[in-house]
């Protein structure tokens, strides 16, 4: 196990494992890097590293698919695991347990270093020189409203009183060299903080960080409780404080080893159109909305910077690996805190964050005496649908632990044979609905309300599987394997 405190060490480690695809020929700065990255997701190839992008200075690079499924079939979650300092062979449930356990440990606050020691300050651009046109920012999809300057970077903001610092990922579209426009959802933490600045009538300072330590990108993309600092949580995962440096032009601290940092202020009005954008549900976008402008004032970067990108769409990309694991860890934490003895939780990648599996141990009835499976399903829904992160999840399945929830073939078998056609479900009407899940109708999106459901698939008596493992005597299985 090794914690990587910058993006380059992480890329080198993936390269040694054979999980980096070096693209050394020149690629355009329009669609080619994104198309290559998208195909790499869909065929589960090594992560593409683009060494030569047309129209930008030599040495500027792009890095695609930073936390998607690995090309190493025996280590499918290696990129996520290694980002968090875990062994590359870690399973999905191992990662979720780590993320959940860290929620109950004391945070380790970041430590500030001098500007001269900060790699992100090797180059400082101000005024007209601080221009996004210098950098390789491709279109993510051909129906998008513009080039997306942020798909895997960390946005850093804080409340006016300085008591809450938030590190998060949100999509941000380039408007021109000096302006961006970002999706600002009021219920999300960055939206809550922006609202505080709007009430004061003051533009919000922000830093957009590209290519920090991989754990920073990962934690920025998962839910942790409001008013908790992601930097402290990352320190817990790393076992050491995150080195930060004071930004050049605003009162924020930024990761010292980052590849690039954009500094500026966010307007107090929704004064620019953002979108459309092809999102994690797997469909190209078709609409835009008025969102606040991110004004670009200062840019700092390392020599020969690497700009990471996540090109969302059909499975499997970072939305379906890292973000899904973060949501599952959030669900696991809340369910266990509520006294429900959950073995693990899992969001299958191919469900595009529309299914959550709540896996119960064989002895759950002994741990919850007198509770029926129907009552358990009801309780699971009451706990989960009261949390902010479950706004993204329309369907929950409470399942036994007699199969591998990370194996989609086994998931399909279990859900096909154990979900009752009409009964054994707890339906929760008038739940909060946002437009990102793809399963609601327009009236429900407009109202912001719709149904959610918890399916009870728990067996009253566990049945043996008609499988090699459970369908034959042990001595027969041994003989078969010995002569295979």
Q: Which residues are catalytic?
A: 279
| Torsional class of 237: left (φ above 0), alpha (ψ -120 to 50), beta (otherwise) | alpha
CA–CA dist 139, 285 (Å, integer): 13
Number of other CB atoms surrounding residue 342 within 10 Å: 21
User: DSSP secondary structure string, 307-347?
Assistant: EEE---SSSSSTIIIIIHHHHHHHHHHHHHHTT----EEE-
Tokens (6 digits) for 482: 């010995």
Go through the chain and tell me how many residues it has. 484
Number of other CB atoms surrounding residue 389 within 10 Å: 18
Residues pairing with 397 in the sheet: 357, 455
CA–CA dist 282, 314 (Å, integer): 4
Collapsing DSSP to helix, strand or coil, 235 comes out as: helix
Residues pairing with 180 in the sheet: 174, 294
Nearest to 169 by CA among 184, 157, 151: 151
CB 27 within 8 A of CB 53: yes
CA–CA dist 219, 273 (Å, integer): 28
Crossing angle of helices 324-337/373-384, nearest 10°? 120
Nearest to 21 by CA among 66, 54, 58, 86: 66
Residue listed under structure tokens 């993006």: 7
Q: For residue 226, what is the DSSP state? A: T
CA–CA dist 193, 206 (Å, integer): 11
Tokens (6 digits) for 20: 């980096």
φ/ψ of 447, rounded to 5, equals -75, -25
Nearest to 136 by CA among 208, 32, 66: 32
CA–CA dist 385, 395 (Å, integer): 11
CB 157 within 8 A of CB 194: yes
Nearest to 19 by CA among 58, 77, 61, 60: 77
| Torsional class of 259: left (φ above 0), alpha (ψ -120 to 50), beta (otherwise) | alpha
Q: Where are the beta strands (DSSP E) in 258-313?
A: 260-266, 272-274, 289-291, 293-301, 306-309
Rounded to the nearest 5 degrees, what angle is found at the Cα of 359, between the Cα atoms of 234 and 282? Answer: 70
Tokens (6 digits) for 344: 């693990």
């Amino acid at each position: 196990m090794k914690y990587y405190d910058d993006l380059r060490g992480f890329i080198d480690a993936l390269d040694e494992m054979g999980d980096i695809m070096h693209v050394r020929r020149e690629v355009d700065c329009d669609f080619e890097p994104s198309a290559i990255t998208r195909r790499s997701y869909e065929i589960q190839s090594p992560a593409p590293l683009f060494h030569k992008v047309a129209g930008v200075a030599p040495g500027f690079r792009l890095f695609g698919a930073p936390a998607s499924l690995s090309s190493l079939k025996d280590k499918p979650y290696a990129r996520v695991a290694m980002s968090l300092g875990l062994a590359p062979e870690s399973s999905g449930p191992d990662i979720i347990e780590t993320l959940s356990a860290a929620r109950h440990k004391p945070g380790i606050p970041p430590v500030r270093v001098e500007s001269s020691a900060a790699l992100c300050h090797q180059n400082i651009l101000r005024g007209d020189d601080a221009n996004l046109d210098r950098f390789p920012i491709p279109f993510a999809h051909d129906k998008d409203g513009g080039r997306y300057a942020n798909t895997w970077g960390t946005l850093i903001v804080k409340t006016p009183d300085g008591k809450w610092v938030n590190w998060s990922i949100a999509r941000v579209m380039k408007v021109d060299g000096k302006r961006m426009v970002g999706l600002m959802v009021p219920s999300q933490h960055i939206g809550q903080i922006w609202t505080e600045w709007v009430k004061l009538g003051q533009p919000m300072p922000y830093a957009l960080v590209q290519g920090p330590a991989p754990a920073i990108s990962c934690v920025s993309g998962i839910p942790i409780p409001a008013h908790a600092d992601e930097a402290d949580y990352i320190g817990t995962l790393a076992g050491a404080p995150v080195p930060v440096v004071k930004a050049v032009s605003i009162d924020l601290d930024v990761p010292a080893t980052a590849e690039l940092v954009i500094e500026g202020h966010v307007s107090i009005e929704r004064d620019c159109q953002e979108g459309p954008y092809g999102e994690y549900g797997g469909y190209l976008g078709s609409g835009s909305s008025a969102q606040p402008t991110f004004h670009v004032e200062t840019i700092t970067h390392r020599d020969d910077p690497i700009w990471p990108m996540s090109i969302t769409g059909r499975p499997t990309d970072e939305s379906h690996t890292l973000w899904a694991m973060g949501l599952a860890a959030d669900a696991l934490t809340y369910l266990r805190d509520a006294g429900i003895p959950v073995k693990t939780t899992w969001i299958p990648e191919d469900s595009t964050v529309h299914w959550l599996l709540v896996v119960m141990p064989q002895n759950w009835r002994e741990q919850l005496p007198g509770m029926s499976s129907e009552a358990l399903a009801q309780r699971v829904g009451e706990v989960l649908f009261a949390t902010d992160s479950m706004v993204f999840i329309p369907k929950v399945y409470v399942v036994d632990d007699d199969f591998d929830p990370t194996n989609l073939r086994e998931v399909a078998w279990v859900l096909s044979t154990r979900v009752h056609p009409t009964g054994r479900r707890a339906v929760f009407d008038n739940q909060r609905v946002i437009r990102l899940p793809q399963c609601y109708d327009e009236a429900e999106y407009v109202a912001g309300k719709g149904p959610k459901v918890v399916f009870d698939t728990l067996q009253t008596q566990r049945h043996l599987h008609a499988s090699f493992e459970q369908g034959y005597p042990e001595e027969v299985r041994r003989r078969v394997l010995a002569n295979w």
